[in-house]
Every structure is written in structure tokens, then in C-alpha cells.
Amino acid sequence: GAGVSQSPSNKVTEKGKDVELRCDPISGHTALYWYRQSLGQGLEFLIYFQGNSAPDKSGLPSDRFSAERTGGSVSTLTIQRTQQEDSAVYLCASSLTGATEAFFGQGTRLTVV
């Protein structure tokens, strides 16, 4: 596609519910990243996928968070039993192999009520 696409753009969910956030990276990009940006805060790294290698999950804040990347393309970030502190903008980015530019999606704004 033309850019990194994330869906939904906005999600309001009740505390305790599970949510799935989707990221469609740029076609051919082997690297995919998930970050979280809380209001007025910087970027918090969550998880990194690179090709067929095991993902770097070191940034996931708890075992309620998980992510997968199917067929080396689309990625889904799942948050189980959402809490109010999960409210944030979740950003996805992709890049080609190598230290090249990372392209960001517009993000999914998650609000847990």
C-alpha cells in the first residue's frame, strides 16, 4: 500500500474487555514495530518483528499484551482485560531491512472507560 495503515483509528472499550489493533505495513517491509504514546509522553517501545526472526517482546508491559505477525505482513496487537492505564495512542511503523527510514501509521487511539 501507499503507507502504513492502522485500524481502527479510534477505539473506546470498557475496562476488562479485550481489544485487537491491526497494522498493515508497507508492502515489502520486513521490519515492523509497535509503540505506545500516552498523552503528552514520548514513545514507549512495545515489540519489534524482523523477518522470520523471533520478535523482540522486551517492551510489552504485561502478559495482557501480545502481538503476532502473520505471513510476514499484517500484525495484530492484542490487549486482554484492558485497564484504564492502557489508554494511549498505539503506533505501528515498518521499514526495509537495514538501518533505513521507519514509516509510521496514524495510530489507533485507545480509550478504556
Partner 1 sequence: GNSVTQMEGPVTLSEEAFLTINCTYTATGYPSLFWYVQYPGEGLQLLLKATKADDKGSNKGFEATYRKETTSFHLEKGSVQVSDSAVYFCALSAANTGNQFYFGTGTSLTVIP
Q: Which is nearer to partner 1, 80 or 102 (CB)?
A: 102
Q: How far apart (Å, rounded) are the C-alpha atoms in residues 58 and 60? A: 6
Q: Which is nearer to partner 1, 14 or 39 (CB)?
A: 39
CB of 22 to partner 1, least distance (A): 16
Q: How far apart (Å, rounded) are the C-alpha atoms in residues 81 and 24? A: 24
Provide the 8-state DSSP code for 26: P
CB of 83 to partner 1, least distance (A): 23
CB of 19 to partner 1, least distance (A): 20
Report which residue type is found at 15. K
Q: Which is nearer to partner 1, 16 or 51 (CB)?
A: 51
Binding residues for partner 1 (CB under 8 A)? 31, 33, 35, 41-43, 45, 48, 50, 53, 56, 91, 93, 95, 97-107
Give the C-alpha distances (Å, rounded to integers) separating 50 from 5, 47, 78, 105: 18, 10, 19, 17
